[in-house]
Amino acid sequence: MSVIVTGINGQDGYYMCKYLLEHTSFMIYGTLRYRATKLTNAKEYFPDNPRFTMLHLDITDNVNVLNIIKKVKPQYFINFAAQSFVGKSWDIPHVTWTTNTMGVINILDSLKTECSHCRFYNAGTSEEFGDVLYSPQNEDHPLRPRSPYAASKCAARHIIRVYRESYGMYAIQGWLFNHESIRRGKDFVTRKITSTIASIKKNIESGERFEPLELGNMNAKRDWGDAEDFIDGVWKMLNQDTPPSEYILSSGTMYSVRDFLEECLRVADIQWSRCDNDVYVHTTTGEVISRVNSDYYRLADVNCLMGNNKKARLELDWTPKTDFSTLVRKMFEHDYL
């Protein structure tokens, strides 16, 4: 019995493999694109675990997808491989679409032909709701994407439904609201804040000067949860009695980028005052801790997202365990070590 998890270089792929190794007895095949990464690096991920195998897989290559599925014959296929940087998706719309949409078609079609009993999960996103009509968003909220990234995920959602309804496949795409961890990439705003504030804190302590943190839209509001909580919800979504439903996973709370920064400064115990235009100044030295740089603004941003997770709570018995302050503290303390 085996599971394929794609995108193990990323936060979600890694935590999914970890969860499955701890909670199941399946053989886990974790995949990542062939770049310079050697497969021998598998030891870095799950040292000496005989149930974990690392494979190269590029989901944009349908031959590669078909051959891996033929070889592994998985019971579950969990796709976290994606071009997941929303801001970058305007610069690389083709890569975004090819990976996030065509890649999904490649997987669906290979599963249909070679492994139609396999349960398939694709990573969906709150970004699909985009220009929201009401808050909190539930599963019935219309899809109103604002970025090439979000549009690619909406298209994937539609094609997954088509395969589910046409071929009777267990194929679903949950809506995951923002979810963070110590493994979050430093280009995403939360980890950018915790890692930069941690290094500023060290500079303050050693009496050295520092470069300020530079951020974009401080008013953007997001529903930030803990990635490890969400992985449990994904596995529950994959183990429903058929026919499967799609669910929102979210913390159900909403904070601005400004709130995240200020919470992180509190946790770091850095004394600051906020001046006009969101310039944050260190009280003792007068140095600028954080300021706005318009280069980080998006062509179209989603202003606020907050998920209604009632359906997942009731039907999957899923509950997010980590609150906002605990999440910020966990990430900051890791980066400050």
Task: Catalog residues that contact ligand GDR under the rule CB under 6 A.
Answer: 84, 86-87, 125-127, 176-178, 187-190, 192, 215-217, 220, 222, 257, 296, 298, 301
We find the least distance from the C-beta atom of residue 167 to ligand GDR, in angstroms, to be 27
The H or E element spanning position 197 is helix 189-205
List Cα–Cα distances, 259 to 96, 149, 218, in angstroms.
Answer: 30, 25, 9
As measured in angstroms, the least distance from the Cβ of 312 to ligand GDR is 15
Residue in 6, 96, 125, 194 annotated catalytic = 125
**Pick 109 or 259: Cβ nearer ligand GDR:** 259
Cβ closest to ligand GDR, residue 46 vs residue 324: 324
Of 76, 72, 66, the C-alpha closest to 105 is 66
Q: Which is nearer to ligand GDR, 68 or 264 (CB)?
A: 264
Bridge partners (DSSP) of residue 174 are 123
Token pair 């980890």 in the structure block, residue: 191
The minimum distance between CB 106 and ligand GDR, in angstroms, equals: 20
Q: Which residues contact 9 (CB under 8 A, 6 or more apart)?
A: 32, 37
Catalytic residue among 45, 76, 149, 247: 149
CB atoms within 10 A of CB 163: 20
**Pick 96 or 110: Cβ nearer ligand GDR:** 96
Whether 125 sits among the annotated catalytic residues: the reply is yes
Give the shortest CB-296-to-ligand GDR separation in angstroms.
4
Taking the C-alpha atoms of residue 292 and residue 298, their distance in angstroms, rounded to an integer, is 13
User: Please, which residue, 110 or 178, has the CB nearer to ligand GDR?
Assistant: 178
Query: Cα separation of 25 and 90, whole Å?
Result: 41
- Catalytic residue from among 127, 128, 228, 263: 127
- Rounded to a whole number of angstroms, the minimum distance from the CB of residue 153 to ligand GDR is 7
Q: Are 132 and 140 a contacting pair, CB within 8 Å?
A: no
10 Å CB burial of residue 247 (0-12, 13-18, 19+) is: buried
Decide if 205 is catalytic. Answer: no
242 is catalytic: no
Active site residues: 125, 127, 149
